[in-house]
Amino acid sequence: MNGLDYCHRNGVSHRDLKPENLLLDSNYNIKIADFGFAAPVEGKDKGGFLHTGLGTPNYMAPEIHAKLPYQARPVDLFASAVILFIMVAQHPPFTTAVSTDHYYKLIAQNRADWFWKLVCNGKENGENTFSAEFKDLFQSMI
């Protein structure tokens, strides 16, 4: 998050955050790589929005899938939430952030309670698989 904050404070949006673009140095510090889809945070026209539908579909925010103008910081944060979920759960929270994806649809419709029940179904600790703090963080980021 420090690296992403640094990028944003310096006017750069990554737009393709995913585990494959996160590297570890010799001290196990995360380094953000592959800025091929990077763009100015304020947009190319300085209007505050980006318009190009770039990125890896599984990590793209819903506004990009919907081909809507989008703000850079929130879409990078959205991808970070998906990465965090994968790091903790060892699987993605949903396939893509579109209304036809059942898991994503629950989050979008403010039915996070059902989302957590589904993603915890069959896990050893059941609904206690994820801490309340993790759930709150993920939902806030998404």
- 50 phi and psi, to 5 degrees? -110, 160
Residue type, 16: D
The 8-class DSSP code of residue 21 comes to G
CA dihedral 117, 139, 104, 61 (to 10 degrees): -160
Helical packing angle, 2-9 and 72-89, nearest 10°: 170
Return all residues near 50 (Cβ < 8 A) that are at least 6 apart: 13, 15, 39, 43, 44, 69, 70, 71, 72, 75
Catalytic residue annotation: 16
* Alpha-carbon gap, residue 141 to 74, rounded angstroms: 8
